[in-house]
Amino acid sequence: MNAAVSVNNLIKNYGTKKAVVEAVKTVSFDVLPAELFGIIGPDGAGKTSLFRMLTTLLLPDGGYATVDGFDIVKDYKAIRNRVGYMPGRFSLYQDLTVEENMQFFATIFNTSIEDNYDLVKDIYIQIEPFKKRKAGKLSGGMKQKLALSCALIHRPTVLFLDEPTTGVDAVSRKEFWEMLKRLKQQGITILVSTPYMDEAGLCDRIALMQDGSILSAGTPQQIIAEFKEPVLAIKADDMYKLLKDLGGYALIKDVYSFGEYHHAVMQDVFDETDLCHFLERKNNYNVTIKRTTPGIEDRFMQLMKN
């Protein structure tokens, strides 16, 4: 099957020769048609630079890529007609109403809301009651739905969503991912970037990105399976002291905060009772230790430290 997006050793640098920022460093990956592909990485990882190159808004400094079979440099006009792009910020005209924003984006692409209503209906219906309201006066979740509707109005084959759920409440985030699943079922290829690890599991495949490089790519299950060491979830009354003390235990390879627990990556052979006694001797109170299944975040931490 031909890839919907094919990225080969793509490079983006900013700045001058003296002070170069290597935002994207020889990145390669493929996305299949109708795949939901996530680029997962913290702020500054290079996600926006990558998306802006693939949507032809930024020229690469090296490598090449195709979107829907078209070259991102030579065939930029064809690509612009085929992709939908929802940037992290500023994609809407705040002074235009919901309806006017939709009409504006439809007009740019020489189409109309009516022509493609079936594609955006599910999403647009939720904001239609506010169609006379200015975009600037919408809640975060509603802005996000409007931005997605605008990015879809010309029926793109590939959709790029740059951190679409940043600053959006938990319920709207969940609804948003359900919308993405439905769009995928309609055959749209979706590339979505996010700093949230919990969203990685909702993608068909993901690439973990940091400092301009892809550290690992595959299905969420494949990435989790790369993590081989045993992990313990540990908590006590004073979590700060606990973290420091865990760092001094010989059989712990790595330890970091993880929600209400700390995660300790253990050597293959260890004894939980011995660890508990060690922590109690150091005056940690109400210590709880339990074996836990590693997730994508654990693998990311491991890759970042290597």
Ligand X SMILES: Nc1ncnc2c1ncn2[C@@H]1O[C@H](COP(=O)(O)OP(=O)(O)OP(=O)(O)O)[C@@H](O)[C@H]1O
Total Cβ atoms within 10 A of residue 279: 20
Shorter beta-carbon distance to ligand X: residue 106 or 209 = 209
Q: Is 302 in the site for ligand X (CB under 6 A)?
A: no
Residues that bind ligand X (rule: CB under 6 A) add up to a total of 13
Residue from the set 4, 10, 35, 47 that interacts with ligand X by CB under 6 A? 47
**Rule CB under 6 A: is residue 21 a binding residue for ligand X?**
yes
From candidates 49, 66, 149, 165, binder to ligand X by CB under 6 A: 49
Q: Which two tokens mark 2?
A: 């031909």
> Which is closer to ligand X, CB of 193 or CB of 284?
193
Comparison of 157 and 210: residue with beta carbon closer to ligand X: 210
**DSSP states along 119-175:** HHHHHHTTTGGGTTSBGGGS-HHHHHHHHHHHHHTT--SEEEEESTTTT--HHHHHH
Figure out which of the listed residues 7, 23, 27, 206 binds ligand X, where binding follows CB under 6 A: 23
Pick 10 or 119: Cβ nearer ligand X? 10
The string over 26-46, giving b where at least 16 C-beta atoms fall within 10 Å of a residue's C-beta and e elsewhere, is ebebbbeebbbbbbbbeeebb
Is residue 43 within the footprint of ligand X (CB under 6 A)?
yes
Residue 294, CA distances (Å) to 45, 118, 203, 242 in order: 23, 41, 18, 20
Q: Is 45 among the residues that bind ligand X (CB under 6 A)?
A: yes
CA 124, CA 147: separation in Å to the nearest integer? 10
- Which of 9, 32, 44, 230 is the binder for ligand X (CB under 6 A)? 44
Q: Which residues bind ligand X (CB under 6 A)?
A: 14-15, 21, 23, 41, 43-49, 163
